[in-house]
Amino acid sequence: MSAPKKLYIKTYGCQMNVYDSERMAEALAGYEQTDTPDDADMILLNTCHIREKAAEKVYSELGRFKGLKAEKPDLKIGVAGCVAQAEGEEIMRRQPMVDLVVGPQSYHRLPEMEARTHNGAKVVDTDFPEEDKFEKLKTRPKAKRGPTAFLTVQEGCDKFCAFCVVPYTRGAEVSRPVDRVLAEARDLVERGVREVTLLGQNVNAYHGAAQGGEWTLAQLIWALNDIDGLERIRFTTSHPNDMDDALIEAHGTCDKLMPYLHLPVQSGSDRILKRMNRSHTAESYLRLIERIRAARPDILMSGDFIVGFPEETEADFQATLDLVEEVRYGYAYSFKYSTRPGTPAAERAQVDPAEADDRLQRLQALITRDQRAIQNEMVGREMGVLFEKPGRKPGQMVGKSDYLHAVHVQAEGLQPGDLRRVRIVESGANSLRGELLD
């Protein structure tokens, strides 16, 4: 019996790409994964198009494989994900060694595409097919899983923010049917998963088909809450305009829904928000945060910010700092604006790069201050920790708290997948130390 071929996947970008890479590896059933490209029979780059010069970084990465391709002529190289969707045939033109290019909505066709490459074909599939790729994918193998998993429930976005390429690379909003999401969740639990994070480009716009009509994200969460063995539920990423009353209420009443919410605002300036086409104001966002915290007072908020957006003034930036001061984020992700070709903002007057750099440093200093303060406030509190892997010291296990902080505990007998009550006794640079209570 011949040895299985080896597949090397490099994943860029968001959690949805992590999930997609898992499903692509499963679709290519004749391969087993390897951690190095050197012994791979197929290399697959699962790309992200959000950040500046994303395509150029992919071309640079491909360039590093030229020597390997020369040594191993039978090596297959593929590009998947959002850069593949945006660049299409251009990837083949600039890097002729690439054998296949597949967009994020077509990767269920990978086995067929891969088979065609063995006949010398160069294959490009960047369609937005009508069929449901999840329905066409093979049933997930029954291999044992770690205690946490991503589960994509929604893809695409209809918001058309002026800085974002997602509507062009992922397409319009599409939600997976409820029964398929629940079936995949039950399957994950059977294989050892105790926490799922529901994924979507705009996950709280979920409107999955169900018997009797469409379900909202809140309804889906309550159905997941009834699955025995599933102990924790999270979701990301959300849009403020789609945080409905039922979802806010679920944060206060659903025990398995963790007290953590990633809710990007992008700017604290109403003028910039309008130019971004965000369709909410700083005031409406702050009032929404008030309602969420009224439902779940201990919830930890996370956010996204773009500084140096075209035409942003110092006064606009100060409004962002003021919003951050008021909200106090436990986590936040901040970026300097980068142009994405084809988006409306790319054609506008750009902020001086040095000024944008200065603003980013000032914002990150404020965010870091709040992150550290909130982490330090966890000392003395009791909370659940889902342990995931051994730590660096003998007998140490590391896991995630209800609030997503990394927690390490020194205790004999702990195993990955254990969910235990812990008292936090120390706050370190990037993690907490706890002691078992039970």
Residue 130 above 80 pLDDT? no
Per residue in 373-405, pLDDT (tens digit) is 999 999 999 999 999 999 988 999 999 999 999
Distance (Å, whole) CA 233 – CA 1: 43
Which pLDDT value is given to residue 139?
64
- Cross-strand partners of 328: none
Output the average pLDDT for the chain. 91
φ, ψ of residue 131 in degrees (nearest 5): -75, 155
Residue ranges of the chain assigned to CATH 3.80.30.20: 134-306
Kindly report the three-state secondary structure assignment for every residue of the chain.
CCCCEEEEEEECCCHHHHHHHHHHHHHCCCEEECCCHHHCCEEEEEECCCCCCHHHHHHHHHHCCHHHHHHCCCCEEEEEEHHHHHHCHHHHHHCCCCCEEECCCCHHHHHHHHHHHCCCCCEEECCCCCCCHHHHCCCCCCCCCCCEEEEECEECCCCCCCCCCHHHHCCCCEECCHHHHHHHHHHHHHCCCCEEEEECCCHHHCCEEECCEEECHHHHHHHHHCCCCCCEEEEECCCHHHCCHHHHHHHHHCCCECCEEECCCECCCHHHHHHHCCCCCHHHHHHHHHHHHHHCCCCEEEEEEEECCCCCCHHHHHHHHHHHHHHCCCEEEEEECCCCCCCHHHHCCCCCHHHHHHHHHHHHHHHHHHHHHHHHCCCCCEEEEEEEEECCCCCEEEEEECCCCEEEEECCCCCCCCEEEEEEEEECCCCEEEEECC
Per residue in 100-120, pLDDT (tens digit) is 999 887 888 888 999 999 888
pLDDT band for position 412 (cuts 50, 70, 90): confident
Kindly report the three-state secondary structure assignment for every residue of 59-117.
HHHHHCCHHHHHHCCCCEEEEEEHHHHHHCHHHHHHCCCCCEEECCCCHHHHHHHHHHH
Residue ranges of the chain assigned to CATH 2.40.50.140: 382-436
Is 254 marked as binding a ligand? no
pTM (whole model) above 0.95: no
Question: Of residues 144 and 407, which shows the higher confidence score?
Answer: 407
Tell which CATH architecture fits domain 5-125.
3-Layer(aba) Sandwich (3.40)
| 134-306 CATH | 3.80.30.20
Fold of 382-436: OB fold (Dihydrolipoamide Acetyltransferase, E2P) (2.40.50)
Per residue in 15-56, pLDDT (tens digit) is 888 888 888 888 888 899 999 999 999 999 998 876 656 678
Q: How many CA atoms lie within 13 Å of 337's alpha carbon, on the beta-carbon side?
A: 31
Residue ranges of the chain assigned to CATH 3.40.50.12160: 5-125
Per residue in 310-347, pLDDT (tens digit) is 999 999 999 999 999 999 999 999 999 988 777 888 88
pLDDT band for position 166 (cuts 50, 70, 90): confident
Tokens 């998963």 found at = 193
What does R_g of the chain's alpha carbons equal in angstroms?
23
Per residue in 234-281, pLDDT (tens digit) is 999 999 999 999 999 999 999 999 999 999 999 999 999 999 999 999
